[in-house]
Every structure is written in structure tokens, then in C-alpha cells.
Amino acid sequence: MKLGILLTTSPENENTNTVIEISKAAREQGHDVSIFLMYDGVYNVNNKEFAELVNKGVEITICAFNAEQRRVAKVDGILFGSQYDHACIANSADRFVSFG
């Protein structure tokens, strides 16, 4: 199963921890996980534990427009994409969850 996740809140919000734990659990059960970060959610790339999800096979894409607005620097392994990438995640996901 492919799980899509939208995260729009910054790392101090409990959503970040929830997304990390859901993503880890889903990967451990062999599911594909794609996360899209936009709005203040782009700040999560600066959260070490969150960014390390990439090493567990989670695909993370960030809205480059929002990242540039907030001067968020590029991080290895995280795609600086666009709303088109979000549309692709929503279109292809079997389940899609929004945290905002």
C-alpha cells in the first residue's frame, strides 16, 4: 500500500512526531510512504529525526516555493519540488492523510 502524507505545520507542533512515528510504522510493515511538506511544514527538513526518515525509505518532497519564502536550505535526499509533486502523491496514494 502507498501512504501519502501532507504536513503543513512546523516542527514544534506534535504533528511532526506523529508523522515520524506513522511513517516508521508503515515502512516497518513494508508500505511505501511519500510525504509532502508545504507552508510552515517545510521547516521540518531541519528536524534531524524527521530528515532521517529518508534513510528508512520514506520519500520526502518539499514545496520549493514555500522553502524559498522561508529561506530553508536544501537537504540531501529531500526533493525540492512543486505542487505538481503533491498532486502526483495524492493521485497515486492508496491512503492520504493530512496534518495541518
**Smallest gap from residue 22 Cβ to another protein (A):** 16
By CB under 8 A, residue 98 contacts another protein: yes
By CB under 8 A, residue 29 contacts another protein: no
By CB under 8 A, residue 77 contacts another protein: no
# residues contacting another protein (CB under 8 A): 17
Q: Do residues 45 and 51 touch, judged by C-beta distance below 8 A?
A: yes
Q: Give the per-residue SS3 of the chain.
A: CEEEEEECCCCCCHHHHHHHHHHHHHHHCCCEEEEEECHHHHHHHHCHHHHHHHHHCCEEEEEHHHHHHCCCCCCCCCEEECHHHHHHHHHHCCEEEEEC
By CB under 8 A, residue 62 contacts another protein: no
Nearer to another protein, 49 or 92 (CB): 92
By CB under 8 A, residue 96 contacts another protein: yes
Nearer to another protein, 29 or 91 (CB): 91
